[in-house]
Structure 1
Amino acid sequence: MPNVAPYAAATAVGVIGGAYCAYRLYQQSQHRIPEQWTQVGTLKDIYVYPVKSCQPVKIEQVECTIIGLKKGWLRDRVLMVIDDANNFITARAFPELYLVKPTINNSVLTLSRDGADSIDVDLAEVIANQKSKTATVWGIEVPVYDCGDDASAWFTKLINRPSSTYRLAYYASQNCRDPPKDPRVKVFKFTKNDTGALGDDTSFNLINEASVQDLNSRVGELEITPRQFRPNFVLSGAKPYDEDNWKFVKIGENVFEIVMPCTRCAITTMDPETGARHPDSEPLKTLRSYRLMEGEKMRKVMGTSPRMGLQMSLRSASGGTITLNDPIYVA
């Protein structure tokens, strides 16, 4: 009787190898860049948020990198304020942050706010003189540089919580941080290149102006603007909520995959000009009446957070530029 072991082993190897190849093809197909595109509008606004939870910088042209938008030293959500435990804080609990205005001149970050003296932080000096340490964003450790005692004193005075000290931290990596330990990561199939620097979910966020206008028609006299959703990109020309059906977005020649819808929190209830919270939690209250995730599985994962806008990741090469009025295509 012939020895069948070698044949069985070879067959097993073939099956395993075939299964692996099939899996790799499946993975690749999930992120394959489409060949057919439909123009839905144009790019109306570009916003970069240097410091998490602080004011944006509005610009006309920007570069795309894997961890977010960039223009020289101006980068999206690469700085954050941390507490005594090196954990990030946001305007959800610290509304004082919301009206801090950052500007960038070469490598110098200037922070200002009405009623407070401004402060300059030279980010090049921070990188040159500081060793990285660890801070935490949504339970994930990230490497950061400490921006110094002067910046710490400025934020500590501004926030003014008894016996608490706050420090400004600068992201110390060119790679995306690790995905959070969150069921959404599995449901929406996050990759290691999706989470950006210090933003909540992904590297890029887009809002459809027509969807915001539709929301406005539902909230009475209150005027809602795209800025309340803190997007990177504002799309003009599409139909309301058409974005629910898109898988890819192309701005100019830069291709983004939609990782997940953007679910919204209490920051949307803060006036983008004054930082004041709406007394009736609008527009979040209205959004919850018609924009919750559909299906039992999604509701279990996303809870009562309504969707508005898109969380996206770069799928074309880093270094491409985006300019105001660029055409926006979808697939």
Structure 2
Amino acid sequence: MSKFILSEINIYPIKSLGGISLREAQLEEKGLQYDRRWMLVDEEGIFITQRKYFELALLQVNIGDGKLSVSHKTLPEQSISFSLDEDTGEELSVVIWNDTATALEVNKTVSDWFSDFLKFKVRLVKMPLTEKRLVDRDYASNDEVVSFADGYPCLLIGQSSLNGLNEKLDDSIRMDRFRPNFVFTGGEPHVEDSFKTFHIGEVLFSAVKPCARCVLITIDQQTGEKGQEPLRTLASYRTVGKKIMFGQNLLHQQLGIIRVGDEVKVVDWKDEY
């Protein structure tokens, strides 16, 4: 059996904006440090995503010197930055899918910048350290919590899964369409579907639920343009119960440092493999 090696670590500090590739990352209670700790919401407090606003793909996020900066991928003069610790202190109730959570607006200037970009009023909010948004109890084992991610702290995809998909497409796509936290090399396409519990480095994870994919994966993360692929092709061979599955949602049972190059060591398999 081939060895599985962690080849990518990605975080997405602001939900639905561009991600950051890291060589190592701190795994905290809610997931990787800074991952989906900020989010855009409308005037009703409902979350804003690329599923409807494709142009969010054009906003790149970076972290450095205690600040988070956002810049336009093709118009870099359009940019804004703020302190990682900054917020107004005013609590807001926000909605992510079926969940309601407490959030803090970063500041009015930042919210106005995003409102100008999107052409309607939004606010950029952050999740307070004290907020406990619970993972779906049908899959949680110990009242695990999550950031502003769709539902789970981390997402894992095998590079072979993308390679297998690209063999079926006329034009190959990049992994960033799927917004994984972890990518690994080795094994056959979708071998991650058979992972039950496994270590990345010293940290123990459980693969608890396949990731159901949506229209977001049809948005080119470099151009913000939407097409029909790869959703149409994936539907032909990755549909389970009317949902298109690609990647595995994870829960972690420990905290620690994860590094590119760590071995992904399977402890238990879901089925004989």
Q: Contact 1:179/1:192 (CA < 8 Å) preserved in 2?
A: no
Shift of 1:241: 1.6
Match 1:308 to one of 246, 260, 265: 246
Alignment partner, residue 144 of structure 1: 103
Do the aligned partners of 2:103 and 2:128 also contact (CA within 8 Å) in 1?
A: yes
Is the contact made by 1:202 and 1:312 (CA closer than 8 Å) also made in structure 2? yes
Aligned position for 1:43: 6
Q: Residues 76-225 of structure 1: matches in 2 within 5 Å?
A: 76-113=35-72, 114-115=74-75, 117-126=78-87, 129-160=88-119, 164-174=120-130, 176-179=132-135, 186=138, 189-191=139-141, 193-219=143-169, 221-225=170-174
Q: How many positions carry a matched residue from both structures? A: 265
**Quick one: distance in 2 between partners of 1:328 and 1:84?**
43
- The structural deviation recorded for 1:191 is 4.2
1:161-203 deviations in whole A, cap 9, x for unaligned?
Answer: xxx31110001135541346xxxx53xx334644510001200
Determine if the alignment matches structure 1 residue 60 to structure 2 residue 16.
Answer: no
Q: Could you tell me the percent identity over the aligned residues? A: 29
Q: Does 1:291 align with 2:241?
A: no
Relative to structure 2, which stretch is displaced further, 239-248 or 57-66?
239-248
| Residue equivalent to 1:251 | 200
Partner Cα separation in structure 2 for residue 321 and residue 40 of structure 1: 20
Q: Is the 8 A contact 2:135 2:152 kept in 1?
A: no
Aligned to 1:19: none
CA RMSD of aligned residues (A): 1.8
Contact 2:105 2:125 in 1 (8 A): yes
Counterpart selection for 2:179 from 185, 207, 230: 230
One-letter amino acid of the counterpart of residue 124, structure 1: D
Structure 1 SS opposite 2:57: helix
Assess, with a 3 A threshold, how the Cα gap between structure 1 residues 288 and 176 changes in structure 2: closer, same or farther: farther
Letter in 2 for 1:223: S
What is the CA–CA distance in structure 2 between the aligned matches of 1:117 and 1:257, rounded to whole Å? Answer: 41
Tell me if structure 2 keeps the 8 A contact 1:66–1:193: no
1:85 positional shift: 0.3
Gaps of 5+ in 2: 269-273
Separation in 2, partners of 1:69, 1:277: 28
User: Which has more strand, going by share of residues?
Assistant: 2
In 2, the alpha carbon distance for the partners of 1:314 and 1:159 equals 35
Q: Is the 8 A contact 2:162 2:175 kept in 1?
A: yes
- Of structures 1 and 2, the larger Rg is shown by 1
Q: Secondary structure at the match of 1:86?
A: coil
Deviations 1:6-34 (A, max 9, x none): xxxxxxxxxxxxxxxxxxxxxxxxxxxxx
Corresponding position of 2:189: 240
Tell me which protein shows more helix as a share of its residues. Answer: 1
1:125 offset after TM fit, Å? 3.1
**Partner amino acid, structure 2, of 1:326:** D
Structure 1 counterpart of 2:257: 321
Q: What whole-Å deviation, never above 9, does each CA across 1:254-297 have from its counterpart, x for those lacking one?
A: 1111110111111111112212112xx1111111111112xxxx
For residue 133 of structure 2, give the secondary structure of its aligned residue in structure 1.
Answer: coil
Distance 1:241 1:123 in 2: 36
